[in-house]
Amino acid sequence: MASLEPNDPRRSTAYVPPRTIGVPAQLNGSSDGDGRQTVTVHRGETIGEIADRYGVTTQDILRWNHLKTSKVRRGTRLKIRTGDAAQLHAAAASADSAQAASIHAPRPSRHSRSGGMPIQRVVVVQPGETLGALASRHGTTVTRLKRANGLESSVIHAGQRIKIPA
Mean pLDDT of successive 10-residue stretches along the chain, which has 166 residues: 75 72 70 78 92 90 90 91 65 65 65 63 91 91 91 90 88
Same domain as 40, residue 79: yes
Cβ neighbourhood burial of 67 (10 Å; 0-12, 13-18, 19+) = middle
- Could you tell me if residue 64 is inside a domain? yes
- Could you tell me if residue 97 is inside a domain? no
- Give residue 91's pLDDT: 60
- Give residue 88's pLDDT: 58
- What amino acid occupies position 56? V
- Could you tell me if residue 46 is inside a domain? yes
Q: Considering its fold, how many domains does the chain have in total?
A: 2
Same domain as 86, residue 123: no
Same domain as 126, residue 82: no
- Could you tell me if residue 17 is inside a domain? no
Could you say which of 54, 72, 91 is where a domain stops?
91
Buried b (16+ CB within 10 A) or exposed e, 17-51: eeeeeeeeeeeeeeeeeeebeeeebeeebebeebb
The domain of 160 spans 119-165
CATH of the domain at 125: 3.10.350.10
- Could you tell me if residue 81 is inside a domain? yes
- Could you tell me if residue 139 is inside a domain? yes
- What amino acid occupies position 66? H
- Could you tell me if residue 15 is inside a domain? no
125 within 8 A of 156, measured Cβ to Cβ: yes
* DSSP per position, the chain: -----TT-GGG--TTSPP---PPPP--------TTEEEEEPPTT--HHHHHHHHT--HHHHHHHTT-SSS---TT-EEEEE-THHHHHHHHHHHHHHHHHHTSPPPPPPSS-TTTTPPEEEEEEPPTT--HHHHHHHTT--HHHHHHHHT-SSS---TT-EEEEE-
- Could you tell me if residue 134 is inside a domain? yes
- Give residue 141's pLDDT: 92
Beta bridge partners of 81: 36
Same domain as 126, residue 87: no
